[in-house]
Amino acid sequence: MFDLMQYALIFYDFQLILARMGLPPLVGRDAEVTLLRERWTQVQDGLGQVVLINGEPGIGKSRLVQVLKEQVAGERYTRIEYRCAAHTQHSALYPVITHLERALAFSRNDTPDDKLRKLEAALAPSAWPLPDTVPLLAALLSLPLPAHSPPLTLTPQRQRQKTLEALLAWLCAEAMRQPVLFIVEDLHWIDPSTLEFLTLLMAQGPTARILTVLTCRPEFHPPWPLRAHVTLLTLSRLAHPQAAQMMLRMTGDRTLPMEIVQ
């Protein structure tokens, strides 16, 4: 038998092993990975799909998404990622704004006019009218309106609706160019405006080449109905043999006492 000090030393040693290894190996999730790959194949064939990955904290939702990203890394596609957080769930469209700032390569040294030019350059290849779209997205990003644009006179509600429609049109335009892997993590912390955007996307259905992968905890209840192109994937806990297998693969030739494995 081990005393408390021995347990503490062995457990600390195991934590060091985990830190060096980084992400744990994926164990016991073959069926889930296969399902995600099947949905991705359907998207490449022109059928839009949505997968909602539901599970308690730490059960492996993000790890499963990471494996999908690794498996499609060599393919031609566009990846868009939104991340919701507890401290931003009351900030309208925060995940959207953060993604756009990253995608448009905004830098600390950019002036507002520099950022506006980057936005206009990104929208230029699109087919929809820039005079209508640029002011909406400039306002979303807290940028000055283009000099030739009249001031926005829409009501706040109408401006939000048109902004969401512009974002959706931009996403669908990208999906016409090549398949899109659209990832939104931690929906249980999503703000109402971003959730409204996702609801618009759900209504778009299987008409766009977009695989939308969403992760959430059990307390999140999606406001949209389950449809043929929406798959609910609930992750259960690993069985004890699978958890032990994961630890053995991480520790390599290090032998852990059975008490620690348990």
By the 8 A CB rule, do 33 and 68 touch?
yes
Tally: H helices and E strands in the chain: 10, 5
| 63 and 85 belong to one structural domain | yes
| 242 and 186 belong to one structural domain | no
Give me the residue label for tokens 């990253």. Answer: 102
| 13 and 57 belong to one structural domain | no
How far is 244 from 9, CA to CA, in rounded Å?
A: 19
pTM of the predicted structure, to 2 decimals: 0.82
Q: Which two tokens stand for residue 250?
A: 């991480």
Q: Which two tokens stand for residue 256?
A: 């852990």
The number of distinct structural domains making up the chain is: 2
| 21 and 71 belong to one structural domain | no
> In CATH, what number is assigned to the domain containing residue 94?
3.40.50.300
| 95 and 18 belong to one structural domain | no
Low-confidence ranges of the chain (pLDDT < 70): 1-28, 127-129, 237-256, 259-262
| 222 and 255 belong to one structural domain | no
DSSP line for 151-216? PP---HHHHHHHHHHHHHHHHHHHHHHS-EEEEEE-GGG--HHHHHHHHHHHHHGGGSSEEEEEEE
Which pLDDT score, from 0 to 100, does residue 19 have? 47
| 15 and 86 belong to one structural domain | no
Distances (CA, A) of 4 to 1, 14, 261: 10, 15, 15
Residue 51 DSSP SS3: strand
| 201 and 256 belong to one structural domain | no
| 150 and 247 belong to one structural domain | no
How far is 101 from 97, CA to CA, in rounded Å?
A: 6
How far is 147 from 150, CA to CA, in rounded Å?
A: 8
Q: How many CA atoms lie within 13 A of 261 on its CB side?
A: 18
Domain range spanning residue 7?
A: 1-28+238-262
| 95 and 8 belong to one structural domain | no
| 102 and 230 belong to one structural domain | yes
| 85 and 8 belong to one structural domain | no
